[in-house]
């Protein structure tokens, strides 16, 4: 549906933005520092996907109603900050 298309476009946009920033970063600070930044970006991306999986497992285990999941995520992110 439309939301899946919008989500994919959003992911593609942010990946392209990260790649663009990485290219500017590498041009300004050198290839090795640019590669270090790229590895950090990819690591953070993978860890965020891992977090989504963990949240999914927790919500399933505790049978969290769908209408309360947003509130739980918001409070968790706020508490993490």
Q: pLDDT value at position 1?
A: 63
Q: pLDDT value at position 23?
A: 94
Contact between 33 and 41 (Cβ < 8 Å): no
Local mean pLDDT, 10-residue blocks, the chain (81 residues)? 88 92 94 93 88 90 93 86 82
Task: Kindly state the tokens that stand for 57.
Answer: 């497992």
Task: Name residues whose C-beta falls within 8 Å of residue 20's C-beta, 6 or more positions apart in sequence.
Answer: none
The single-letter DSSP state of residue 5 is H
Q: pLDDT value at position 30?
A: 96
């Amino acid at each position: 549906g439309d939301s899946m298309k919008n989500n994919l476009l959003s992911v593609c946009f942010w990946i392209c933005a990260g790649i663009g920033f990485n290219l500017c970063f590498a041009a300004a600070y050198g290839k090795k520092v640019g590669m270090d930044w790229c590895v950090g970006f990819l690591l953070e991306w993978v860890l965020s996907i891992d977090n989504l999986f963990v949240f999914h497992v927790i919500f399933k285990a505790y049978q969290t109603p769908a209408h309360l999941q947003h509130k739980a995520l918001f409070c968790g992110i706020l508490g993490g900050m």
